[in-house]
Amino acid sequence: MDLSLPPASPATAEGFLRRPLLDAHGALQGYELASAGGRQTARALLQQADLPQLAKHRLLVLPATPACLDDLPLDQLPPEHLVLLVDTPAGDDPAEIERLLPVLAALRARKVRLAFGMTALKKAYSGWLGLAHYIRVDLAALAPQRLDMVVSFITRQTPAEAIATGVHHAEQVEQLRALGVTLFQGDWFSRPSAKAKGVIQPSQGVLIEMINLLQRGADAHEIAPLIKRDPSLSFNLLRVINAASNGFAFEVTSLQHAVMLLGNKRLLRWAAALMAQARAPGAAPALAPVALTRGRLMELLARELLSPQDCDNAFVTGVFSLLDALLDMPMADALGSLALPEPVADVLLRGQGLLAPFLVLTIACENHDDAAFARAAEELHLTGAQINWAHLQALAWADEVSTGW
């Protein structure tokens, strides 16, 4: 498979951004997608070539203006995995509200899910509410004393589930869950908890020890006995080395042989990816696919611009940018136990170095940060089409890896 970035073009699409959509247990349910700058809506996003692969397992929430609802290319995606976040008409125009009612009903009849913002709770949209699958509750735009009333109305008076946006703390999740909110957007899951204990779990400890050995240039005779201490690591390594994609004509049954065949660079990547899975107790399951997406996206963006060694470091940087949340401790403490390449530590501890703009761009893609996205893309001389390609490849890869473990 050719994994080089597509060539730059003066007429490329805008880059797209995403927000993870999580349930109350912190498991990833889907993504809300939007274009950088907010100028493209569902029609343009539906034309992304790799979107169907991503929609196999996740909900995809796409912004939809009233003007684009009549002629959407819906055949590319499973309709039950597509959510249209429909804007309300400007000025709550009664004629436009009425005109769109049969359009929305036809979309729902095709099993497309419909989502509306809090504006749709106005009396003028009473006909729309019966078609809603989701209502978004924007915590930043809602007075705290009105939260209970709004969520209660959604859950009791409409067929819709409530999606809370702008959630920044685990305590908010518990409060909202008690009120009946089922889906959440925000960055609370990617931070260490308020009561971070900083206790390394046994599986994490083995991986940390392995990473440190690899950084010292240890050979298979030292690394294989360490892997044997954790049966799940042993099984995973042999599964990886015997995968059809490696092309070996024989089955590898010896851990020492597997370590020799993979080599230290690939073992470091493997250990970093496994660290994303070995999260602290209570940490959100979504951390794994999000961390893996960050690593893969940074690696793909770096491929045309940096050396192979720097690309490996880009992958590790992306995964370990969530190490504080994965280990539930401050980043300085988390990195203090690891011997990491200097370029990785430069970015994660000091926000500087060759890989810094790649991490800025990667996080901007995840947080709907238009300004940071534009600055980093310009600094790296990457077009929207190039970033989109890498972004979708990274999402699909992370989804496949995280669901396969």
Residue 313 burial (C-beta neighbours within 10 Å; 0-12, 13-18, 19+): buried
> What pLDDT does 6 receive?
52
Q: By the 8 A CB rule, do 42 and 18 touch?
A: no
Q: By the 8 A CB rule, do 380 and 357 touch?
A: yes
Radius of gyration, alpha carbons of the chain: 23
Q: Locate tokens 């000091």: which residue?
A: 350
> What pLDDT does 4 receive?
53
CATH 3.40.50.1100 fits 16-190, yes or no: no
DSSP string, 372-400: HHHHHHHHHT--HHHHHHHHHHHHHHHHH
Distance CA 193, CA 286 (A): 15
Please state whether beta strands 16-23 and 28-35 pair in parallel, antiparallel, or not at all (unpaired). antiparallel
> What pLDDT does 403 receive?
67
Q: For residue 114, list its beta bridge partners.
A: 84
pLDDT truncated to tens, each residue of the chain (405 aa)? 344 555 544 334 577 889 999 999 999 999 998 887 766 677 777 877 667 777 777 899 999 989 888 888 888 788 888 999 999 999 999 999 999 999 999 999 999 999 999 999 999 999 999 999 999 999 999 998 999 999 999 999 999 999 999 999 989 999 999 999 999 999 999 988 777 666 777 778 888 898 898 888 888 889 989 888 888 888 888 887 777 556 666 787 788 888 888 888 888 888 888 888 888 888 899 999 999 999 999 999 999 899 998 999 999 999 999 999 998 888 888 888 888 888 999 999 999 999 999 999 999 999 888 899 999 999 999 998 899 889 989 998 898 887 655
Angle at 26 between CA 143 and CA 274, to 5 degrees: 145
Which residues contact residue 240 at a Cβ distance below 8 angstroms, ignoring those fewer than 6 apart? Answer: 246, 262, 270
DSSP state of 280: P
| Nearest one of 198, 156, 216 to 180, comparing CA atoms | 156
Residue 137 burial (C-beta neighbours within 10 Å; 0-12, 13-18, 19+): buried
Domain ranges of the chain: 16-190, 202-277
Q: Locate tokens 């493209």: which residue?
A: 40
10: how many CB neighbours lie within 10 A of its CB? 5
Tell me the two tokens of residue 51. 């979107």
DSSP state of 199: P
> What pLDDT does 11 receive?
35
Please state whether beta strands 113-116 and 134-138 pair in parallel, antiparallel, or not at all (unpaired). parallel
Whole-number Cα distances in Å, 19 to 74, 240, 258, 279: 21, 30, 38, 21
pTM: 0.88
Angle at 266 between CA 189 and CA 5, to 5 degrees: 75
> What pLDDT does 2 receive?
41
Tell me the two tokens of residue 150. 């709004």
159: how many CB neighbours lie within 10 A of its CB? 12
